[in-house]
Structure 1
């Protein structure tokens, strides 16, 4: 996995359940992610709970860098074992 690198991650979302208590529980789980320090400069989380209604709306932008040459050999070995001649 060191050959796959998340270069940028931006999440802007409103979320909520029909029961405000469930929204509060989810908010309690997500807030440490949003306010943990230090987040890398390339990560921006803007999560807003909506206690009035059930909703999930927002946007996500992600940029991922993959070193294809480093993944070529493991993919080739997997393909050979999965689809190659049987022993």
Structure 2
């Protein structure tokens, strides 16, 4: 099974990387871009017997390593393998 984990900074957390990208976009003439927030996309291939087992494994991986719960949120998207 394949999962995409989208990790983002929580609202209100400063995003210096996003601010730098926004400024670079403005410098390149993309003045209509009002805000940029940078996140991560993590792709996982999970070998599990059931969907429930895979979901539990990915959830634990997110909580223990992939996301910092103090400053980040995450969403898990399951991708069709076909």
Band of TM-score, shorter chain: under 0.3
Q: Which has the higher contact order (CA 8 A, sep 6+)?
A: 2
TM (normalized to structure 1)? 0.25
**TM-score scaled by structure 2?**
0.26
